[in-house]
């Protein structure tokens, strides 16, 4: 499974940073149940565009 998302963070001083993320999840069927065996999240395009 692949997904893209945007994470917006605000620190205690009010500074905002925006991060474009890509998520990749690998599923494996084990004993008739689907289980997540790997999950990876990384920033796209070097990240912060605040």
Residue 50 lies in a domain: no
What pLDDT shows up at residue 28? 98
- In this prediction, residue 1 has a pLDDT band, given cuts at 50, 70 and 90, of confident
Q: What is the pLDDT of residues 11-45, one digit of tens each?
A: 999 999 999 999 999 999 999 999 999 999 999 97
Would the pTM count as exceeding 0.75? no
Residue 34 lies in a domain: yes
Residue 17 lies in a domain: yes
What pLDDT shows up at residue 48? 54
The number of folded domains in the chain is 1
Residue 35 · residue 27 · CB < 8 Å: yes
Structural domain span for residue 11: 2-43
Residue 49 lies in a domain: no
Residue 48 lies in a domain: no
Residue 15 · residue 50 · CB < 8 Å: yes
User: How many whole angstroms separate alpha carbon 17 and alpha carbon 7?
Assistant: 8
Residue 26 lies in a domain: yes
Residue 49 · residue 21 · CB < 8 Å: no
């Amino acid at each position: 499974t692949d997904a893209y998302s945007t994470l917006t963070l605000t620190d205690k001083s009010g500074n905002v940073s925006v991060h474009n993320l890509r998520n990749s999840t690998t599923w494996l069927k084990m004993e008739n149940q689907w289980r997540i065996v790997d999950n990876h999240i990384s920033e796209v395009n070097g990240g912060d565009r605040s």
